[in-house]
Amino acid sequence: MTRQIKIFDTTLRDGEQSPGCSMNIHEKLEMAKQLELLKVDVIEAGFAIASPGDFASVKEIANIIQDTTVASLARALTKDIDRAWEAVKGAASPRIHTFIATSDLHMKYKLRMSEEEVLKQAVEMVKYANKYCSDVEFSAEDATRSNPQFLYQVLEGVIDAGAKVVNIPDTVGYTTPEEFTNLIKGIKENVPNIDKAVISVHCHDDLGLGVANSLAAAKAGAGQIECALNGIGERAGNAALEEIVMNLNTRRDYYNMSCNVDTTQIYNSSKLLSSITGVAVQPNKAIVGANAFAHESGIHQHGVLANKETYEIMTPASIGLAENTMVLGKHSGKHAFIDRLKSLGYTLDDKTIEEAFENFKELADKKKVVTDKDIEALVYRRNIYIPKMYTFNRFVINAGNSITTTSAVRLMKADGEMIEAITSSVDGPIDASYKAIDQLVGMDFELEDFLINAVTGGTDALGEVNVKIKKDGAIYNGHGVSTDIVEASILAYIGAINNMMYDVSLVDKEG
């Protein structure tokens, strides 16, 4: 009989701490809904005390998610635990996840506390959290660099205090699979009450061993793995959810373990996250990279044509990559469009479908054939999910290699007022357009990142632009798609500005 492993997703907490991966509340809600469709066991929705925006997003996620446990992180402090409970108490299945460091290095230089003080605080704060919530998880930060004997003592104490899950993080990605296996076995052999709690692991990828360490720990007896989509997270990131799940799924003969995750939602989940954050996965990324199921070598192609199992150990369909030959174009109706969405694995509300269909019809007027990748780009046009302070109306470019480029951009404000500005730039139409937008908004922004990607091939391909702008130390993402790359760039820039204004208004509202 296979052993069940719980999947704890921290994309919205540790993942969002990855530089450039911040999300606004609407984007977090969309991601949380997709994680629920993915059927992860736990969604760590954020760090409630970190900011008013984080608190609001955790609370909103807790209120809408029905089939998945929703957790908030909290330091082992009463104020953190109070705030975490206030955020998750509306969840169908709430969890408080509290932590304190247990390594000599962290206790001496970060906490400035003795072993006795750390043990006392860990036990007291788990008891405190347990008064609010029966589902309390405790994490021993930097566990893999902790004194094992002290770690055993802390784990025994917090389990007695009511912790149902004890997490053993490899916080800085330092351990190896063999070392981690021995640590988990040591915990099972030396913590007398360990049978009363689930052992969890949370591995970082600083040495590229996050997934390997997580799977080794599960083999040794861990019952929960903490991970993030696309492996995003602090520094080099977390163990990648899709890699862990597909290892368990593909090599069930070896691991003899399974999980509840719906693997056919993996591709959609990965694509949605990339669209929200503007951070694409590398082409050779395992499972979800563009080349994961591509074969260029003649020998490989011949083998796959004869029998796919010669070079494919899993099928594209197993992660939600559908193969469809039905052509969509300007004469296609809404029913065909909705059917294609369903075949691609998307479950969308009526409003989103309506907006995506309108965008599809506009695109179909420009292209003879609309591909699945085009449809994905339309579905993931993230700027539709937040209130728009500014909406793009039109632009006019005057450019040439012997003249200074000018750009006239017209925007519509939220109150319906049309505003327009004309600026020039020696650096081309996009720079001129961005200067015009800055003038209309009345603010200057620092362009942190600008990424152009062709969604499909051909001269009529959709261009996808992701930008990151910086204002007052905070970074905001924007996303735009169009067959005109200047228009896509303008849409992305306006989207980032709308994200910034929405986040600022949310912080002001929370006070």
The domain ranges of the chain are 3-277, 294-321, 383-510
Q: What is the 3-state secondary structure (H, E, C) of 412-449?
A: EECCCCEEEEEEEECCCHHHHHHHHHHHHHCCCCEEEE
Instruction: Say if 3-277 and 383-510 have the same CATH topology.
Output: no
pLDDT at 288 over 60: yes
- pTM recorded for the entire structure: 0.82
CATH architecture type of domain 383-510: 2-Layer Sandwich (3.30)
Rounded distance between C-alpha atoms, residue 420 and residue 418, angstroms: 7
pLDDT at 305 over 90: no
**Confidence (pLDDT) at 360:** 81
pLDDT tens digits, 211-237: 999 999 999 999 999 999 999 999 999
- pLDDT confidence of 441, banded at 50, 70, 90? very high
Average pLDDT value for the chain: 89
**Confidence (pLDDT) at 4:** 97
Torsion of CA 17, 18, 20, 24, to 10 degrees: -30
Whether domain 3-277 has CATH 3.60.15.10: no
Q: 93, 90, 50, 97: which is closest to 74 by C-alpha?
A: 97
pLDDT tens digits, 32-71: 999 999 999 999 999 999 988 899 999 999 999 999 999 9
For the four alpha carbons of 482, 487, 493 and 498, in that order, the dihedral sign comes to negative
For the four alpha carbons of 354, 16, 133 and 151, in that order, the dihedral sign comes to positive
**Confidence (pLDDT) at 384:** 46
pLDDT tens digits, 482-499: 889 999 999 999 999 998
For the four alpha carbons of 245, 251, 254 and 258, in that order, the dihedral sign comes to positive
User: 366: which residues sit within 8 A by CB, 6+ positions away?
Assistant: 460, 483
User: 298: which residues sit within 8 A by CB, 6+ positions away?
Assistant: none
pLDDT at 353 over 90: no
Sequence letter at residue 256: N
